[in-house]
Amino acid sequence: MRHNRRAIALLAAFASLLACSPSDAPAAAAHRPGAAGIGDTDFPHDGNGGYDVSHYDLAVDYTPATRRLDGVATIKAGATQGLSSFNLDLVGLHVRQVSVNGSPATFTHQGGELTVRPAEPIDERAAFTVRVHYSGRPQPATSTTNLGTFGFIPTADGAFVASEPNGSKTWFPSNDHPSDKATFAFTITVPAGVTALANGELTGEPTTSDGRTTYRWSERHPMATYLATATMGKFELRKGSTAGGVPNLAAADPRFASSLDKLYRTSGKITDYWATVFGPYPFGSTGGVVDDYAAGYALENQTKPLYGGFEPDEGIIAHELAHQWFGNSLTIRRWKDLWLNEGFATYAEWLWSEHKGAKTADAIFKGHHSRPADDPMWTYPPGRAKPDDLFNQSVYTRGGMTLHALRRAVGDDTFFKLLKSWAADNRYGHVTTEQFIELAERMSGKDLKPLFAAWLYQPRRPA
Ligand code: ARG
Ligand code: ZN
């Protein structure tokens, strides 16, 4: 006993010596708090600095009748700096417990930022695992600008989950910014009779016990947090695969049961067609979900586009499926480049129309170009999506027109090769507008800076 005490005292003395030894000082200073934002100047609080997530394992238990969610998020990450603390984004839910590498961590939770202080600081480049136990009644995000309602939206029979641009924080702790993609596993438990639809594929048949059913989904390709979904409710399903062999799952709220078959067939047909135009389908399955929440928009949730309260027509299905390449496989690093998603998906609608023998892309382009000079689209440069008006018409339509102007400048042959190279070279990665311009110039051998300047950056109608 006495021996032990002496040994402990000695150890303590030695430890305090070490703590103030000069050689230790730089190491201690090398651990500092990770930033509360990832560095997107338009969205300074979104995401976090100091680490990069590789995998989210989300176990979510949800009861539509009480709207209560119980969650355990296990997040694997790598430190990009020495960390004394770091943040996760989470809004409005109660955090019960946090651990880092299995040891309890202290934390504060304020204004959408969960600050975690691990018992041991984390070294630069070290891999670590954070586990967060949380619960509460998720509230969707609402914006005063044109973003509408998004995030986890409770419905009568479940939830409509569509999180673009930054609504993931309404239902799980995350590094909520597209510049940090990760793979996802979902374990979702709901009352028996409710279907839970998340990204990727089911890893087994759902299991039911004590009146509750658990669904296990896995998205094994990197995914931006805003594309994560756990849409729940009563659904009719149609499963199979496309003619080209991509597993296909369509789901419709009973109110939209009559659109299920068309959703399934159209999604399959368009997925296969885009594979011939943009290159191989990037994910493990395709499909779509129609829920009865009138969101006023659709979202290209990875592998499972979600349509909010309307029967989707071919144009919007073509749009959301084109996003599987442009937006989901190739993801923007900063929101101002959103035209790389929306301009491409809008142009895909025109390509689909052309393919069907309806209006050509050229005719659609000309129709838009003849809009009056005072149309608001001409004063909004689509190459710089505004944080308070992200989904402006210009980002979509003038973004699509930019691609058509490019097609006219470089010719069909180069243009369609360029679309395929863009998708192949950056598959599962991140992209910027500068990279696209660079590739277009390289493949065409032309100086395209004036074209992109006029179409993407000038506050007036291009000639
Ligand atoms: N990316 C979606 C689309 O192109 C639009 C998402 C709108 N999101 C929102 N919060 N309003 O169809
Ligand atoms: Zn879109």
- In tens, the pLDDT along 26-45 reads 555 699 999 999 999 999 99
**Whole-number pLDDT of residue 146:** 79
Query: Which residues, 6 or more positions from 248, have their beta carbon under 8 angstroms from its beta carbon?
Result: 239, 240, 241, 242, 264, 267, 268, 271, 285, 286, 287
Query: 143 CB under 6 A from ligand 1?
Result: no
Mean residue pLDDT across the chain: 95
Whole-structure pTM value: 0.94
What distance in Å separates the CA atoms of residue 217 and residue 196, rounded to the nearest whole number?
9
pLDDT bin (cut points 50, 70, 90) of residue 1 is very low
Residue 184 has pLDDT above 80, yes or no: yes
Query: 147 CB under 6 A from ligand 1?
Result: yes
Tokens of 225: 């947090």
| 61 HSE (CA, 13 A, CB side) | 8
Tokens of 41: 């100047």
Q: Indicate if 331-457 has the same CATH topology as 235-329.
A: yes
Give the distance (Å) from ligand 2 centre to CA of residue 342: 5
What distance in Å separates the CA atoms of residue 206 and residue 162, rounded to the nearest whole number?
23
**Class assignment of domain 235-329?**
mainly alpha
Give the distance (Å) from ligand 1 centre to CA of residue 152: 14
Counting from 1 in the atom list of ligand 1, the atom nearest the Cα of 298 is 12
Query: 148 CB under 6 A from ligand 1?
Result: yes
Instruction: Identify whether the C-beta of residue 120 lies closer than 8 Å to the C-beta of residue 103.
Output: yes
The tens digit of pLDDT for each residue in 202-213 reads: 999 999 999 999
- In the chain, domain spans: 29-228, 235-329, 331-457
Q: Is 418 helix (H, G, I), strand (E, B) or coil?
A: helix
Tokens of 106: 């202290």
**Whole-number pLDDT of residue 29:** 66
Tokens of 284: 């493990």
Q: Which CATH architecture has domain 331-457?
A: Orthogonal Bundle (1.10)
Residue 349 has pLDDT above 60, yes or no: yes
Query: 281 CB under 6 A from ligand 1?
Result: no
The tens digit of pLDDT for each residue in 241-273 reads: 999 999 999 999 999 999 999 999 999 999 999
Residue 287 has pLDDT above 60, yes or no: yes
**Looking at ligand 1, which residue's alpha carbon is closest to its atom 5?**
299
Torsion of CA 201, 207, 208, 209, to 10 degrees: -140
- What are the CA-CA distances from residue 360 to residues 30, 143, 317, 320 (Å)? 59, 36, 18, 20
- What are the CA-CA distances from residue 266 to residues 43, 247, 321 (Å)? 36, 14, 10
Query: 150 CB under 6 A from ligand 1?
Result: yes
What distance in Å separates the CA atoms of residue 233 and residue 197, rounded to the nearest whole number?
9
| 177 HSE (CA, 13 A, CB side) | 26
Residue 18 has pLDDT above 70, yes or no: no
Query: 298 CB under 6 A from ligand 1?
Result: yes
Q: Name the residue with tokens 């000309």.
A: 366
What distance in Å separates the CA atoms of residue 170 and residue 89, rounded to the nearest whole number?
9
Q: Name the residue with tokens 């937006």.
A: 327
Tokens of 387: 């944080």
Homologous superfamily (CATH) of 29-228 is tricorn interacting facor f3 domain (2.60.40.1730)
What distance in Å separates the CA atoms of residue 445 and residue 439, rounded to the nearest whole number?
10
The tens digit of pLDDT for each residue in 300-328 reads: 999 999 999 999 999 999 999 999 999 99
Nearest to 456 by CA among 202, 440, 36, 443: 440
Instruction: Identify whether the C-beta of residue 95 lies closer than 8 Å to the C-beta of residue 135.
Output: no
